[in-house]
Structure 1
Amino acid sequence: MRRKTLTLIFGLIFTSLSLSCVYGQARTPRHLIKKTIKIGKYDRTYHLFVPKGVSKNRDLPLVFVLHGGGGTGLRMERWLGFTALARKDKFIAVYPDGIGKNWNDGRETNRSRAHRENIDDLAFVKEMVDEISRTYNVDENRIFATGPSNGGFFSNFVAAQMSDTFAAIAPVIGGIADPFYKRFDPSEPVSVFFIQGTADPLVPYNGGTVARNRGKLISTDRAIGLWNKANGTNKRPVRGDLPDTNRRDGCKVETYTWKNGRNQTEVVLYKAVGGGHTWPGASQYAPKFLIGGVCRDFDATKAVWEFFKSHPKIERKPVARK
């Protein structure tokens, strides 16, 4: 009986994720461009926002926004607000779609089609970068990725294996998969901005099983340690706190910054103490008793973009191994 109850609960969670911003999702909004590319036997789709009023000689940053499990690129576009920032600050925003609404992010699980069929999502990302760069003026030193949950896992996964491409990533409520960490070996330093809630019931801060039998992850601290070692940052972080601007949300944000990585990289953690499986500053997409609460002390979308703006690739050379 307990197992059936838990299964129902997690089913409701992922249904909530899937229904988030669902209305009108089948139509491509006028401000977006829909693209389809062939990867192996699969037709892969993504939506693209390209800002207007930009000089033809200007190279633009490229930001991948990767949906969570059960989501789509269009739902992320409607939910998180990156398009408004892209229009204002002139960057290209990409909203790709995973096979079966999931990314193959290095976890061992049969709960999603992407994992069961071992979908080559890495090839999909590489082809998107190539296709977009052939069509538009992309700044090769300002290619970034972010996303919540499964999208956060995949941000770590893709950056570790395409570190020559990505300048920085921002995984939100998503970590590094176990056993993928065993082959974690980026060839170049990548700046990383982790946003994790300590009261996340689906992606536990201290590692373990994801959302009941959806694979495993290592702890947040261990994931940070992997990136710090790869980047060669200072061993001790600079510690701080964000202002507790909303005292009703049950959340306070501790900040940790590991500086002086190779090629001026940094690793940053926003530790949302009391935060749940949510995107800070966004909507409460499911009841608190299922996913925890939303941290209201900062807007994660704006924070992620500010981090990306200040962390381009400085020098394109391999990490020196000790």
Structure 2
Amino acid sequence: MTTTPIKELASGRHRLTIDVDDREREFWVYIPTQASQPEEGWPLVFVFHGGLSNAPTMVRFCEMNDYADSEGFVTVFPNGTGRLPTMKTWNAGMCCGYAQREDVNDVHFVQQLLNDIPQRVAIDPSRTYATGMSNGGMMSYLLGDKLSDRFAAIAPVGGTMGNPTCHPSRPVPLMHIHGTDDQFVRWEGGVGSRSKSKLNFHSVDHAMQNWIAANHAQTTPSVESLPGEVNDGTSIERFTYAANGENSAEVVLLKVHGGGHTWPGKESRLELLGPTTHNLDANQAIWEFFQRHRLPM
């Protein structure tokens, strides 16, 4: 493993590599240029791309790094694996593609990044988070399950659980964002009409029920309709399954009525992904959720 002293990693964008399991793995780190580093170190947000995509494409797709620049947290965009440089996947259980077929240990890859990045930049170990789109959302779920001692909270977007069950070693706060008109990873589960993998994905409800149980959260949610700012054919409902005392964590579901396989608030360049809501800013919602949660140290 190669490391770089903290002082050599300045503000801005850095394309880095690390050797893990006999593979050279790429990742992009964005350190804020506008905000000042907190005394306890930067919060760290992992952002995982979707299947048949890659880290640079995910940067353009969600622009979380731009939001982080002003809000004050470091973003990491890891790259999956694949035969083509622009088409990568994650091994997140039942999905997806090359990474699953080759049995790539992407959890180990992230473990190594969690050990490597603090040697390059000052990080607050209690404030590490994961989000991602589609197959990247599935990867976020897997990390919440397998590395619950390292991630303070997770926020999958447009990607359900890749495994039939989850058994995190501690309750992990979860926020899931999903469109009801997603034709790639369907809200109801099954095979999406536009799915490239043609896999029989688990439903959103499957993920919610597993994590409500794992987090010992309340089983009856509070439900809120968020105000609609834009008349774009979409609306947002928030379901909050509150923490239930000690040894419990909340589960939040943002249901995007009329939304497609997209990142809320960021217009997709691909019409086949379906409608994008502008009644929700996913970056803002995710960061506000993450800010409420820290790992017990």
- TM-score, L = length of structure 2: 0.88
Q: Is the 8 A contact 2:61 2:268 kept in 1?
A: no
Aligned residue among 67, 71, 74 for 1:85 = 67
Separation (CA, whole Å) in 1 of partners of 2:69 and 2:14:
14
Change (3 A) 1:41 1:139: same
Q: Which residue of 1 aligns with 2:113?
A: 128
Q: Supply the AA of the counterpart residue of 2:134.
A: S
Separation (CA, whole Å) in 1 of partners of 2:198 and 2:18:
28
Give 1 or 2: higher helix fraction: 1
Separation (CA, whole Å) in 2 of partners of 1:214 and 1:34:
33
Matches within 5 A, 1:8-23: none
Separation (CA, whole Å) in 1 of partners of 2:94 and 2:136:
12
Separation (CA, whole Å) in 1 of partners of 2:274 and 2:175:
21
Separation (CA, whole Å) in 2 of partners of 1:85 and 1:271:
22
Percent of aligned positions that are identical: 36
Aligned residue among 133, 147, 158 for 2:143 = 158
Change (3 A) 1:108 1:65: closer
Aligned residue among 218, 221, 242 for 2:226 = 242
Shift of 1:57: 4.3
Change (3 A) 1:240 1:63: same
Q: Deviations over 1:59-99 (max 9, x none)?
A: 21110011111222122223322222222222111011000
Separation (CA, whole Å) in 2 of partners of 1:266 and 1:56:
26
Aligned residue among 134, 142, 160 for 1:175 = 160
Q: Supply the AA of the counterpart residue of 1:103.
A: W
Shift of 1:292: 2.0
Specify every segment of 5 or more residues in structure 1 that has no aligned partner in the other structure, as ranges.
1-29, 317-322
For the pair 1:105 / 2:86, whether they are aligned, the reply is no
For the pair 1:309 / 2:282, whether they are aligned, the reply is no
Change (3 A) 1:284 1:108: closer
Aligned residue among 94, 98, 106 for 2:76 = 94
Aligned residue among 8, 13, 16 for 1:35 = 16
Separation (CA, whole Å) in 1 of partners of 2:71 and 2:276:
26
SS in 2 for 1:216: coil
Q: Is the 8 A contact 2:37 2:72 kept in 1?
A: no
- TM-score, L = length of structure 1: 0.81
Separation (CA, whole Å) in 2 of partners of 1:263 and 1:87:
33
Change (3 A) 1:154 1:47: same
Separation (CA, whole Å) in 2 of partners of 1:299 and 1:57:
28
Matches within 5 A, 1:184-263: 184-209=166-191, 211=195, 213-247=197-231, 249-261=232-244, 262-263=246-247
Q: Supply the AA of the counterpart residue of 1:168.
A: A
Q: Deviations over 1:217-248 (max 9, x none)?
A: 2211121111111111111111101112222x
Q: Deviations over 1:119-160 (max 9, x none)?
A: 111111000010012232211111101111111111101211
Separation (CA, whole Å) in 2 of partners of 1:222 and 1:44:
32
Separation (CA, whole Å) in 2 of partners of 1:63 and 1:56:
15
Q: Is the 8 A contact 2:264 2:280 kept in 1?
A: yes
SS in 1 for 2:164: helix
